[in-house]
A = this chain, B = another copy of it.
Amino acid sequence: MRDHGGHAGVADACRPITDILTRVGDKWSVMVVMLLGNGTKRFNEMRRLIGGISQRMLTLTLRGLERDGLVTRTVFPTVPPRVDYALTDLGRSLLIPISALGAWAYGHRDAIDAARLAFDARADAGAAPDSQAS
């Protein structure tokens, strides 16, 4: 807050929010949170349920969520080892707005898809006014 003269714009004020939105927006976080919304899960269980996520990314995603206080990680010192992941209260509270966002996305997927097709068609028409497709 020391540059009254400058005008950094809203980007500055929004940094904390943008920061958190980045978490929400990354490829797997939302899916993991939604999955844990159904209850506690183990590592490879989630891996199977999600399908298509690499081991590495599941680890990193869970670490990020744990760091943000959204997920708890519980290790059972058995052999073979067992680790349970669950949402914290904070994580559960996040479930509400992201479900709303997910519902919006699902509800408008057709409109968005149509808009994309139309846009791409316009772009193609502009780039290649000739009726030949490449």
Contact = CB atoms under 8 A, between A and B. Distances in A.
Contacts of A7: 48, 51
Interface in A74-118: 90, 93-94, 96-98, 100-106, 108-109, 111-116, 118
- Copy total for this chain: 2
A90 B112 contact: yes
**Main SS of the interface on chain A?**
helix
A97 B105 CA distance: 10
Interface residues of A, number: 55
B9 A68 contact: no
A9 B48 contact: yes
Contacts of A112: 20, 68-69, 90
Given A67-B120, A69-B112, A12 B101 contact: no
A31 interface: yes
A105 B50 CA distance: 25
A22 interface: yes
